[in-house]
Structures are given as C-alpha cells and as structure tokens.
Amino acid sequence: MPDSAQTGPARTGRLALICGTGALPALLARAEGAPLICAIDGVAVEGLDVDIAFRLERLMPFLDRLHDEGVTRVAFAGGIRRPALDPALFDPATAQLVPKLLPAIQAGDDATLRAILALYEESGFTVLGAQDIAPDLVPGPGVLGCHAPSDADRRDAARAAQIVAALGAADVGQGAVVAQGLCLAVEALPGTDAMLDFVAATGAGLRPNPKGARGVLYKAPKPGQERRMDLPALGPETVRRAAAAGLAGIAWEAGGVLLLGREAVEAEAEAAGLFLWACAP
C-alpha cells in the first residue's frame, strides 16, 4: 500500500481521537504521540484517559470545543454502539442536524458513518483513517507466519469473499465462514465473535465431509465503504475463536482490514496451526 507519510493526509495540527471500545484507540494514540482523547459519555476507553467526554445531543458544542483545543485532524477508533438519545438534551445547533442525519441513520451503519464524517469535514476538520496514522496495522498481500492455505482453503476463501461482498452491498456485515464451499455463518449486528461462537457450536454437523476442508473465516470492507471509519479488524481473540470453531485459517482483503496486535495474532495462529492470509483484492 502507498506510504501514507508521503502520499496520505498531512500530519500537521493537533489530532483528536474519537474513541470507542477495543484495542485500536490505544494503538493509534501510541503511533500519534499525544492526541486529544475524546469519547461519548459513558464509553470506557481501554488503556487511555479521556480528555473530553461528550454527548451526541450536543455534537456542535463538542466540535466547537475541538476548535478551541487547536484540533485540525480527527480520527475515529474502536467500536461504538448507538447510544440512546435524549431529546431534552439537544442544543439548538445540534437539533438542526436531526433532519439531515435521520435518513442516514435509517439507511444503515455505513450511511450513518458517512453522514457523521461529512459533519466533521464541513466543520473544517481533516478526517483520517487508522491506516493514515499507523499504516503497519493494515498488512499488504501475502501469507503471515508459517502455515499456508491449501487449494481447498483458497477456494473457500474465494467463496466467502463473494458472500461478504453481497452482504456488504446490503450494509449488513463484513465477514463470513465457509467450509467445503458451504456458508456456515455470516456476520451481522452481533459481530465476528458471535458468528465464530455459532460455528463452534454448530459447524461440525454442517460440514458434509468430516475429513474435508475445515473452513475459513473471511473479512473485508463493504463495497464502496468509507475506509476512514469502521474498517473490519482482527485480533488475538479472533484467532482463538476461529481455532475453537475448528477452522483452518483466517483470510481477509489485503489493505482493507486492521490487524490489531500483529505479533500476538501470529503467535496465536502459530500455536493453533491456523493460516493467516491477506488476499489481494
């Protein structure tokens, strides 16, 4: 992938990290140095002290605060569940945004994220992706570690990629599990862990040949996804759950998936005998 230090967004001005759950916020904070740590009120950010907690009902005052703090760049990091909104807490400026945001919220997660990103850009901020701040988190094409996919695994990964593309076009999910050409599970709102737990509980009975290919977890961004927000991610826990589900390995779209804790991910895969394969798009 291109060297973002040369071709990506300029790394000037203070950065605000809008943080959710998981390991990504701390990884980006470490790569950036000393960003302003922000989070929706009530969200616990792993390994970081929150500088500014805000509510979505008061989004415009929050954006004004970022300008006051000298912020010019913003990045979103970690998982965020849609909070319950209290109509009584809206300030007049944020309330005016509701008619603009509501159609996007009703259209799905990706449309919602695009609308929120547009608000930050309209307010004068440069929005960065995790790959702009820490490009090493997004591996290029190739097999990681010493275990390689078999021809049957590669066919299962190709089939899973077709399924994920179809799911993503409907703004549903970013992952699927395929074994012996059959789709054992797809990712929906509960997420990757829930999908893998389902396969662990039911997958053995779904594979037609007990001695055939064990199956592949495949992840990729949705077609046309705004890649500065909500890139799919893989971490050590993903590997552990894939192993518990009896899979042969994990494949993903190279350049489109965050690998959180690469050394730990590779160590878990090595110990479990799973392959890790970043497939060329």
Architecture of domain 138-279: 3-Layer(aba) Sandwich (3.40)
Q: Could you tell me if 40 and 21 are in contact, meaning their C-beta atoms sit under 8 angstroms apart? A: no
| pLDDT recorded at residue 100 | 77
What CATH number labels 4-133?
Answer: 3.40.50.20
What are the tens digits of pLDDT across the range 154-179? 999 999 999 999 998 888 889 999 99
- Burial code (b: 16+ CB inside 10 Å, e: under 16) for 6-43 equals eebeeeeeebbbbbbbbbbbbbbbeebeebbbbbbeeb
pLDDT in tens, the chain (281 residues): 334 333 445 457 899 999 999 899 999 999 998 899 999 998 889 999 999 999 989 999 999 999 999 999 999 998 877 767 788 999 999 999 888 777 766 656 667 778 888 899 999 999 999 999 999 999 999 999 999 999 999 999 999 999 999 998 888 889 999 999 999 999 998 999 999 999 999 988 889 898 999 999 999 998 888 888 878 999 999 999 999 999 999 999 999 999 999 999 999 999 999 999 999 98
Cα dihedral 101, 103, 109, 115 sign: negative
| pLDDT recorded at residue 6 | 37
Distances (CA, A) of 248 to 73, 156, 213, 245, 275: 41, 10, 7, 9, 7
Beta bridge partners of 212: none
Please enumerate in sequence order all residues whose Cβ is within 8 A of that of 117, keeping only pairs 6 or more positions apart, or say none: 76, 127, 226, 228, 229
Burial of 92 (0-12, 13-18, 19+ CB in 10 A): exposed
| pLDDT recorded at residue 146 | 92
Q: Are strands 14-19 and 36-40 parallel, antiparallel or unpaired?
A: parallel
Residue ranges covered by each domain of the chain: 4-133, 138-279
Q: Which of 22, 268, 9, 5 is nearest to 147 (CA)?
A: 268
